[in-house]
Amino acid sequence: MSVDFLGLIWLIFLLSAFLPMLHQKKIEGARLRLIRSFERKRGARLITLIHRQEALSFLGIPLSRYINIEDSEQLLRAIRLTPDDMPIDLVLHTPGGLVLAAEQIAHAILKHQGKVTVFVPHYAMSGGTLIALAADEIVMDENAVLGPVDPQLGQYPAASILQVLAQKPINEIDDHTVILADMARKAMKQVRESLTRLLAEKMDRARAEELATVLSEGRWTHDYPITVDELIEMGLPVKVGLPREIYQLMELYPQPAGRRPSVQYVPLPYGREDGTPVPSKGNK
């Protein structure tokens, strides 16, 4: 009896170790099939840059993922493997990340001869916005957002560091802050110039410089959500209406098992009791 019980424990242990791996392989296979199907439908290469930071944890401690050099290396390789005249579709879901990595990706997108379309199902903030602005077209969910591209130095916005110099006499400011302010000034200039180069491909130079200043000068907090309506008012090539496959792809980046979901609902579209659909706001 004790031997059988010990064997059962080992069986449970092996299953608990291998079942998550098999499940992950199944999800990865489903992602690749959906990506390939979407590529055939659109006649384009589909690339994803998705940071589901809420789905990562180590010993119960959430880990964050951001745009990094590895992302830029992989994305640039994908672009190199794409024929010059082939369109590229890029799914963006990210809080941002390294300016260097984001600028490398943005410039590679800008130089690609085929049409580049960026799909934003939820948000593409900071460096993600920089990448989106390099595309020929940005397709968003009606509630999705982009964000400001003002540089950050550590935990402080560059624009806020410069405010210290503007509001205090220089002899009351420590050397460390003066050095940070010099770095902040350079960082803001570099990001503004990079944005201007990207935007000048889509509008006249004067408007590009004006909009680059708006997005990089720190007039908002770094996590300020810029809505679709605001983006359109800015003259950016934004449209609403994501393909169904983009939502399906996002569902293949699931929340970690074992966590109680914060939001729950029956995942079905609802109609009336008699089966007729509920009219939308525009069809009342």
Task: Render pLDDT for 155-212 as a digit per residue (tens, 0 to 9).
Answer: 899 999 999 999 999 999 999 999 999 999 999 999 999 999 999 998 999 999 999 9
pLDDT of residue 82: 94
- Tell how far CA 276 is from the center of its chain: 37
pLDDT of residue 118: 98
Confidence of residue 14 (pLDDT cuts 50, 70, 90): low
Token pair 């997108």 in the structure block, residue: 109
pLDDT of residue 176: 93
Strand boundaries in 115-200, DSSP class E = 116-120, 123-124, 137-140, 145-146, 152-153, 156-157
Q: Which residue from 101, 96, 105, 117 is spatially nearest to 38, judged by alpha carbons? A: 117
Q: Is the pLDDT of residue 275 over 70?
A: no
Within 10 Å of residue 116's Cβ, how many Cβ atoms? 26
pLDDT of residue 54: 45
Rounded-to-integer distance, Cα 280 and Cα 284, Å:
7
DSSP annotation of 89 reads E
Confidence of residue 276 (pLDDT cuts 50, 70, 90): low
**Helix H or strand E encompassing 110:** helix 99-111
Structure tokens at 244: 């169904």
> Of 41-45, 162-166, 237-241, 261-265, which range is least confident?
261-265
